[in-house]
Every structure is written in C-alpha cells, then in structure tokens.
Amino acid sequence: MAALRIWLRLKRATALRAGGAWARNKCQSSFGLLFDIDGVLVRGRTPIPAAKEAFRKLVDSRGEFQVPVVFVTNAGNCLRQVKAEQLSEVLDVEPPATKDFTQIEAVILFGEPVRWETNLQLIIDVLLTNGSPGDCVRTVPDPHLPILACNMDLMWMAEAQMARFGHGTFLVCLENIYKKITGKDLKYKALIGKPSIITYNYADCLVRKLGESRGLDAPVCRLYAIGDNPMTDIYGANLYNRYIQSAHKLPVPAKVAAGGMLEGQEEVPGIGPVHEGKLAGSAIESCKSILVCTGVYSRHEQLPCDPSVSVTETVFHGHRDFHFDPSLVEPSFEVQDVNEAVDLVFREENRD
C-alpha cells in the first residue's frame, strides 16, 4: 500500500486579525491586544457577558477597532473563517480577517478528536509502519515520521462547570502508548501553539503590521495578552516577555529563545522550524499577561482545593517536553473578566 500522506495546513495556533479600518484621528495607540477565546470571550458557544461590553470600548461608533487586536487560540476544531464569523457574531464587530499558512506534508495534530481510540490507533499504525499502515511492522522506524502538534492545552473551558480534557491530554495518551509499545520516546518535529514562543512572535508581527497598515501615529511597542489558563496563556505571554527582554541584549539561538524551557535538547519544539535561525525581529518593549477568572482559572476553585495555595504550587499542566518555571505562571495582572481587563489596559495606557 502506498505511503499514507496526510496533507494539512500548519497552524502556529489560529491567529485572526480583527477587521475594520480605524479613523485616522484616533490612531494614537502604542499598544496591541492579544485575546484568547475560550474562557475569555466564550464558553463553548455561549458568549461571556463581559466580552461584548469590553469590545464596545475597543471600537468606534461604526464598529471599527481603534487599536490593533489579534485573537490567539489553540483551538483547531474548525476552519479559521468559521471561527472568525462566530466571533464577529458574538462580539458585534467587523468580521476578523484570517491568515493562511503554507501547506506541508507531515502528521499534524490540531485538536482532540471525538473518537480517541480510533485516532490513537491510526496514528500509531502510521508511525510504526513509516507511513504505510497496510504493511506489517518489521522494525520500529527510527526516526519515525515527523510529528507536529499545534495545541498543548491539557484542559480547556466549555459550558461545563469543570474544565474539559484538551488536546494536551490526547498527546499524553499518544506519547505513553507509543512508549509502551516501542520502548522509545515519541519525538516532535515542533510543538506549536501557546505557550510556544513562535505563536506569540507571530501574533506580535500581526499586531505591528496592523498598526502600520492603519496609519497609527505611534508604533505598537507594548502587548497585553489576556487569557484564562495560567499554564498556557499566562505562561506563554510571560515566556515571550522574557524572550523580548533577552533578545534586545543577546543573540538568540534556539536554547536562549526558549527561555530555558527545555532540558538537553538542541532543537526546541516550541520554536519549531526556525530553530536554525532567529525569530522575526520585534520592536515590542514588553508583553504583559492578564489572567481572567471566567474560564480554566478561578480564584476559589484551584487544585489543590485550598485558596491559600499559590497557583505556582499546583501540578504543572504543561507539555512533557517543557520543564516548569513557576515564575512564568504568575500573571502581570489578575482581573475578574475581559471587561475589567480592557479597563485595566486603558488605565495602564492613560486612555479614556
């Protein structure tokens, strides 16, 4: 049987640019906003009430954005255009534009499937047969086919009261099954999506391009990343802020760019295909993290169930290949919801 070829679009986490042209006389923003979606703006298909109120503060009377806005999500369970249309309807804003990515040939894992056992079996078959699942397994390929994972979220927030298993949980299953069968570790060509630096670097580029294309009076130099998951949204934003600070001082080989996240690896999964070079240059001065309490994180419902225990003392939900740096889980700011987050940003930026 001919080798199974899996053709999919590579995503560094879905990045949607908010649409709408900004009035020239209001283009004075020197900051941009990065919004997570699930747990910040919506819970499943249900909008979080504070989201509409927050976005009314970001648009003018015509519904057009006054500051550069990028939506950064690990969710890959629908087409980007569908996600953009859903957001536009929920938030009553201009439809966000989507960004296409280059097609590649690889096994690319976007999000948790409906039938886990079927998909786990198929992926293992493909890996053990080097892409020819109709053949018998004679020897375990070493190295196996390239694998790219675009979502590392262990948990995510839908309509249910408790967080749901995310794609990170599916990866845990896949890694352990492969290890149990072969005695070898599953290796990734790249780990893409929050908290990977490459995701935030790409969002950074989008924000700055948006500012340039809309004629801002001042270049975007500060980012505020709003999210509900300390282990992905906050960890990733803080990690990117660390990268920004070090990038202005030092050359940025892969290990430095990873912020010391990985141990004993020359190629950094979080950096992906740019591990032999550098990430795109950035004029951004800082990336501050804002944690909301409407999703995965709640002030009173953390594990272990003791409100006196700091979030940095809880079990690390990050991916196997990322060691835990507790300092990166602490947000720059903590607020109740996205509406309070927008108010906070305006105060920080001395905006009315």
Task: For residue 18, give both structure tokens.
Answer: 């908010």
240 compared with 255, residue with greater pLDDT: 240
Does the residue 315 lie in any domain? no
Does the residue 177 lie in any domain? no
Terminal-to-terminal C-alpha distance of the chain = 65
Q: Which residues pair with 46 in a beta bridge?
A: 43
Whether residue 107 has pLDDT greater than 60: yes
Rounded mean pLDDT, 319-331: 87
Strand, coil or helix: 313: helix
Question: Poorest-confidence range of 35-49, 100-114, 133-147?
Answer: 100-114
Helix axis angle for 116-128 and 167-182, nearest 10°, is: 40
CATH code of 248's domain? 3.40.50.1000
Contacts of 341 (CB under 8 A, 6+ apart): 54, 224, 226, 290, 292, 333, 335
Question: Poorest-confidence range of 73-77, 179-183, 281-285, 306-310?
Answer: 306-310
Contacts of 270 (CB under 8 A, 6+ apart): 191, 195, 196, 197, 198, 258, 261, 262, 322
Q: Given pLDDT bands bounded at 50, 70 and 90, which one contains residue 76?
A: low
- Counting the structural domains of the chain, the total is 1
Q: What is the pLDDT of residue 87?
A: 81
Does the residue 49 lie in any domain? yes
Task: For residue 325, give both structure tokens.
Answer: 């740096």
Q: Which of 148, 142, 76 is nearest to 105 (CA)?
A: 148
Question: What range defines the domain where residue 243 resides?
Answer: 9-101+195-267+279-301+323-348
8 compared with 23, residue with greater pLDDT: 23
Q: Given pLDDT bands bounded at 50, 70 and 90, which one contains residue 102?
A: very low
Whole-number mean pLDDT of the chain? Answer: 76
Q: What is the pLDDT of residue 29?
A: 58
Question: Poorest-confidence range of 206-215, 288-297, 333-342?
Answer: 206-215
Question: Poorest-confidence range of 101-110, 314-323, 339-348?
Answer: 101-110
Rounded mean pLDDT, 204-218: 84
Rounded mean pLDDT, 86-90: 79
Q: What is the pLDDT of residue 331?
A: 96
pLDDT tens for residues 125-178?
Answer: 889 988 888 778 888 888 999 998 988 888 888 888 888 898 999 999 999 999
Q: What is the pLDDT of residue 7?
A: 28
Kindly report the pTM of this predicted structure.
Answer: 0.70
Q: What is the pLDDT of residue 289?
A: 97
Does the residue 227 lie in any domain? yes
pLDDT tens for residues 263-274?
Answer: 333 343 443 333
Q: What is the pLDDT of residue 278?
A: 52
Does the residue 311 lie in any domain? no
Whether residue 181 has pLDDT greater than 60: yes
Does the residue 233 lie in any domain? yes
Does the residue 176 lie in any domain? no
Whether the CB-CB separation of 148 and 187 falls below 8 Å is answered with: no
Q: What is the pLDDT of residue 267?
A: 41
Q: Which of 257, 339, 351 is nearest to 290 (CA)?
A: 339
Whether residue 97 has pLDDT greater than 50: yes
Does the residue 119 lie in any domain? no
217 compared with 39, residue with greater pLDDT: 39
